[in-house]
Structure 1
Amino acid sequence: MPGPRLDEQLCFALYSASRAVTAAYRPLLEELELTYPQYLVLMVLWEEQPCTVGHLGDRLHLDSGTLSPLLKRLESAGLVRRQRSATDERRVEISLTDRGRALEERAACIPDRLLGSDASAAADLAALRDALHLITADLHARTPDAKPIP
Structure 2
Amino acid sequence: MPPLWPYLLLLVPAAPLVYTDFRMRCVSVWSLAVLCGEAVAVGWTSFGFRPMLLHAGVNAGILVIFSAAMLGYQLLRHRPVRTFFEQSFGLGDIVMMIAVVPLFVPGSYVRFLLVSCLAALAWWMVKRTETIPFAGIMAFVLGVYVLCKTFGLWN
Question: What TM-score does the superposition give when structure 2 sets the normalisation length?
Answer: 0.29
Greater percentage in helix: 2
Structure number with greater Rg is 1
Structure with a larger share of its residues in strand: 1
Give the TM-score of the pair, scaled to structure 1. Answer: 0.30
